Copies of this chain bind each other. A is one copy, B any other.
Amino acid sequence: MKKKEEKSSIIEICPVRNVISRFGNKWAFLVILILNENKVIRFNELCRQIPDVSSRVLSGTLRMLEADGLISRKIYPVVPPKVEYRLTEVGLSLVPFIIQLTEWAQTNMKRIVTHRKQFESNAGME
């Protein structure tokens, strides 16, 4: 019990990391971006838009984002079930920064990939 919360660390001191670390999640950024483009989306549709995520992990990602209040989940009590996801205001407020980050990534990607290859070449010799 009590995983490691007692390890008071910089993560407590600097709770920013606490929040940011959620994006270590492989798909969180992508989900937010897709939700931003679609406004509202159902689970399986989201599944299809991210071909290589398993429903289990996607489900977990959505839960996490929902727990943080970045997305909302609306359940229609019908058969077959229908669930809609959409960004909350907080989630929406994050979007611009993610987009800026992806734009930065696009701008610098080539350079980075190139540098990465050079670096790998130099590694081991010299």
Interface residues of chain A, those whose CB is within 8 Å of chain B, are 7, 9-11, 14-21, 23-26, 29-30, 50-52, 66-70, 90, 93-94, 97, 100-102, 104-106, 108-109, 111-113, 115-116, 119-120
Contact = CB atoms under 8 A, between A and B. Distances in A.
A120 to B, nearest CB: 7
A65 B60 CA distance: 29
A101 B19 CA distance: 10
A9 B97 contact: no
What does DSSP make chain A's interface, helix, strand, loop or mixed?
helix
B108 A7 contact: no
12 contacts: A7-B52, A9-B52, A10-B52, A11-B52, A14-B30, A16-B102, A24-B24, A24-B25, A69-B119, A90-B112, A97-B97, A100-B100
A104 B93 contact: yes
